């Protein structure tokens, strides 16, 4: 798709019912993101979600999918220890969920792990820029790599990840100019989130683009629905119907 100049559309998914709709719509990649920790479990960060929980979400998504590529995040603490731990976690994801690839956050420091996972035949997607598993190191969710030193390091890391064999790379919340440069220099597809339009594809967190997480309003987010308000209104309507003895009607009973 990168060679053809066709943009790649990726969304997160965590459950069977919604993944089935996204797949039917023709989404290219479904990411079982560790953002499940936020949007599904209500944690403040992505750190608490476990490997078992990621496998549960991933297997639900895999059962729904007929055509999309399913990529699963290696959660915090399941790969940073050493490359053997990274390999074991990846094998568990592939074996127990049936997913097609894993994603990991980090640059040169995870090169050994990427190579070891690849040697077992598991495709790896990289993730640079704002890497939410390192939020306590960054201290803030602001745009990364605005300064030259960090931008140069990111560019080098992108080359290292591509040379290590990553099949694609997510760039999160970095200046559009830098992301465009990475996409030009690096041969693998670059998928952006808050990284501008000069990259090879885009990803959004499903609950954000559907307007379920209505309090989250970063500049890069385009909302396609306002489901918080719609679901709330439907629920209020249902409550009214039940309390007013309007539901069920004659036709809705046996």
Site string (113-152) toward ligand KIV, x via CB under 6 A: ----------------------------------------
What is the footprint of ligand KIV within residues 56-95 (CB under 6 A)?
A: 73
Structure tokens at 94: 């592939």
User: Cα(227)–Cα(233) distance, rounded to whole angstroms?
Assistant: 9
Spatial distance between the Cα atoms of 167 and 188, rounded to a whole number of angstroms:
6
In DSSP notation, 164-231 reads HT-SEEEEES--HHHHHHHHHH-SS-EEEESS-SSSSEEEE-HHHHTTSSTT---TT---S--HHHHH
Q: How far is the CB of 240 from ligand KIV (least distance, A)?
A: 36
Closest approach of ligand KIV to the CB of residue 248, in Å? 39
User: Which candidate, 141, 96, 112, places its Cα nearest to that of 104?
Assistant: 112
Is position 171 an interface residue for ligand KIV (rule: CB under 6 A)?
no
β pairing state of 8-12 and 124-129: unpaired
* C-beta of residue 117 within 8 angstroms of C-beta of residue 166: no
Per-residue x/- mask for ligand KIV, residues 187 to 206, rule CB under 6 A? ------x---------x-x-
In the numeric block, the tokens 């790896």 are attached to 124
The residue count for binding ligand KIV (CB under 6 A) is 11
CB 125 within 8 A of CB 101: yes
In terms of CB distance, is 8 or 203 closer to ligand KIV?
203
The nearest distance, CB 12 to ligand KIV, in angstroms, is: 4
Q: Which of 22, 27, 35, 210 is in the footprint of ligand KIV by CB under 6 A?
A: 35
Q: How far is the CB of 31 from ligand KIV (least distance, A)?
A: 6
State how far the Cα of 250 lies from the Cα of 242, in Å rounded to an integer: 14
**Nearest approach, Cβ of 58 to ligand KIV (angstroms)?**
12
Residue 64 or 239 having the CB closest to ligand KIV: 64
Closest residue to ligand KIV in the complex (CB): 33
Closer residue to ligand KIV in complex, CB, 130/151: 130
The SS3 assignment for 128 reads strand
The pattern of x and - marking residues 14 through 33 that bind ligand KIV according to CB under 6 A reads -----------------x-x
Tokens for 22, please give them.
């996204």
**Closer CB to ligand KIV, 55 or 203, in the complex:** 203
Give the residues lining the site for ligand KIV (CB under 6 A). Answer: 12, 31, 33-35, 73, 170, 172, 193, 203, 205
């Amino acid at each position: 798709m990168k060679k053809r100049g066709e943009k790649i559309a990726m969304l997160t998914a965590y459950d069977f019912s919604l993944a089935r709709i996204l797949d039917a719509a023709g989404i290219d990649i479904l990411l079982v993101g560790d953002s499940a920790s936020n949007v599904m479990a209500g944690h403040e960060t992505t750190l608490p979600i476990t490997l078992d929980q990621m496998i549960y979400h991933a297997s639900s998504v895999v059962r729904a999918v007929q055509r999309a590529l399913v990529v699963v995040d290696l959660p915090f603490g399941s790969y940073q220890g050493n490359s053997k731990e990274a390999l074991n976690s990846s094998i568990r994801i592939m074996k127990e969920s049936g997913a097609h690839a894993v994603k990991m956050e980090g640059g040169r420091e995870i090169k050994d792990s990427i190579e070891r996972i690849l040697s077992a035949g598991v495709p790896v997607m990289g993730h640079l820029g704002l890497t939410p598993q390192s939020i306590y190191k960054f201290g803030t969710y602001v745009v990364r790599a605005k300064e030259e030193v960090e931008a140069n390091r990111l560019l080098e890391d992108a080359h290292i990840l591509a040379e290590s064999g990553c099949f694609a790379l997510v760039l999160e919340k970095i200046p559009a100019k830098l992301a465009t440069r990475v996409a030009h220099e690096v041969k693998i597809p670059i998928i952006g989130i808050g990284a501008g339009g000069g990259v090879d594809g885009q990803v959004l967190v499903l609950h954000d683009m559907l307007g379920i997480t209505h309090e989250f309003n970063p500049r890069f987010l385009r909302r396609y629905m306002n489901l918080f308000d719609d679901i709330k209104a439907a629920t209020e309507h249902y409550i009214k119907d039940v309390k007013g003895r309007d539901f069920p009607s004659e036709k809705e009973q046996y």
